[in-house]
Amino acid sequence: MRDVAIIGIGMTRFGELWESSIRDLCVEAALACFNDAGIDRLDSITIGSMSSGLFTGQEHLASLVPDYLGRRNVPAVRVESACASGGQAVRTAFLEVASGMSDVVLAIGIEKMTDVSGGEATYALATAADQDYEAFHGVTFPGLYAMMARAHMERFGTTRDQLAQVAVKNHENGSHNPHAQFPFTVTRKQVINSVMIADPLTLLDCSPITDGAAAVLVAPAEMARELQRGPLTVITGIGHATDTISIAHRADLLHLDAIELASSRALGMAGKTIEDIDFAEVHDCFTIAEILVLESMGVVPAGQGGPATLDGLTALDGDFPVNPSGGLKSKGHPVGATGVAQICEAVTQLRGAAGDRQIPNARIALTQNMGGSGGSSVVHIVEAR
């Protein structure tokens, strides 16, 4: 396999973007990405979108996107793995380049979520769960994670303060991110006292409904060296794994096998251990999710995610900074875009271009993107060379 570098990144603002359609968002992110890369060549496109059909009525993004990029005839494919669709798009682009099939591939992640009502969006998101044996009973995504949160609190003594600190920390980070949907800070008291969504999770435990797109351009590392625009950022590891779609079928509700396997496979491919990682962008769709991911990846032992968060381990100036971008919580979560946006943040940090949220001397990044309640996960290791 060839070494694969990221030669360009681009994002739209994340938020309720009433004036922008799904095609507008894809084009805006791609244009930003081409401008960043400084090249005008494209061999192939991969598109990650969880449910453009339910959210906007538009399927066949594999024709729409190249068409409106002015790249008719370029091959394009949409990949889907619920909220991990973006990570899947980057992985697919990586495979095309690594295999020698294509040289310059654009991976776009997109979700346009505000063209439907809140109830319809909640329904669309719940299609990532088992339709006949979970969603049939009226459970929502906050509901699934709430059941994990209750179990975590009862087994390990995790507190409401510890959960809330995940939101406090990520909003603090997001307040320095110009792309963030909610770039304001919150207090633990505000998180705990916000409206209850699914006990014990409140509104501020949940990532928002968001419109947005993100794009990365990948190419062989040797081509990237010739382009010589800033530090070389190379994808050195990719891990991907799956798990049961129903949370009731997991051997341990509080250990996300797909996350453990995806991260260990990615680290193994890169020849690294979790201790080598300078910072991580992880899938904090809910506050409890960030804690479960930290534990499942082995950053902390099972049950220690809450206390470690409260102690500042994952803060911007902590020993293992997590979600310097603000994460899904503050930056926003346009589901199909999230996995690509995580890579954009990784590259921004590795270039030293993250401004007030910059992690000093960041050289090795891990991004973890999760589908549904942990039924799939894609992990990337990105290194500055």
Partner 1 sequence: MQVPRFWREIPRYYRLEAAACVQCDAIHFPPRKICPSCGANAFETVRLSGRGALTTFTIIRTPPSGFTDQAPYAVGIVELDEGVRLMAQITDCDVDTLKTGDRMIAKFRRIREEGRTGVIMYGYKFVPDVGV
Residue 204: C-alpha distances to residues 184, 200, 258, 275 (Å)? 12, 11, 26, 30
7 binds partner 1 (CB under 8 A): no
Only segment of 64-72, 150-158, 285-293, 364-372 that touches partner 1 (CB under 8 A): 150-158
Q: Which of 137, 189, 225, 229 binds partner 1 (CB under 8 A)?
A: 137
Reduce the secondary structure of 214-264 to three states and give it as a string.
Answer: EEEEEEEHHHHHHHCCCCCEEEEEEEEEECCCCHHHCCCCCCCHHHHHHHH
Q: 382: which residues sit within 8 A by CB, 6+ positions away?
A: 6, 233, 234, 235, 236, 343, 346, 347, 350, 364, 365, 366, 367
Query: Which two tokens mark 212?
Result: 């947005």
Measure the CA–CA gap between 341 and 261, rounded to whole angstroms. Answer: 22
Residue 47: C-alpha distances to residues 88, 92, 97 (Å)? 9, 9, 15
Binding mask 46-85 vs partner 1 (x if CB under 8 A, - otherwise)?
----------------------------------------
142 binds partner 1 (CB under 8 A): yes
Only segment of 97-105, 130-138, 156-164, 279-287 that touches partner 1 (CB under 8 A): 130-138
How many CA atoms lie less than 13 Å away from 146 in the CB half-sphere?
Answer: 16
Q: Which of 5, 30, 47, 148 binds partner 1 (CB under 8 A)?
A: 148
Binding mask 214-253 vs partner 1 (x if CB under 8 A, - otherwise)?
--------------------------------xxxx---x
Give the nearer residue to partner 1 in terms of CB position, either 250 or 329. 250
Measure the CA–CA gap between 29 and 32, rounded to whole angstroms. Answer: 5
151 binds partner 1 (CB under 8 A): yes
Q: Which residues are catalytic?
A: 83, 333
Query: Which two tokens mark 109?
Result: 């992640």
123 binds partner 1 (CB under 8 A): yes
Closest CA to 279 of 331, 215, 322, 327: 322
135 binds partner 1 (CB under 8 A): yes
Binding mask 188-207 vs partner 1 (x if CB under 8 A, - otherwise)?
-------xxxxxxx------
Task: State the greatest distance between any 2 C-alpha atoms of the chain, in Å, as a whole number.
Answer: 57
Give the nearer residue to partner 1 in terms of CB position, either 68 or 123. 123
Size of interface with partner 1, in residues (CB under 8 A): 36
143 binds partner 1 (CB under 8 A): yes
Residues forming contacts to partner 1 in the complex (CB under 8 A) are 117-120, 122-123, 126, 132-140, 142-143, 146-148, 150-151, 154, 195-201, 246-249, 253
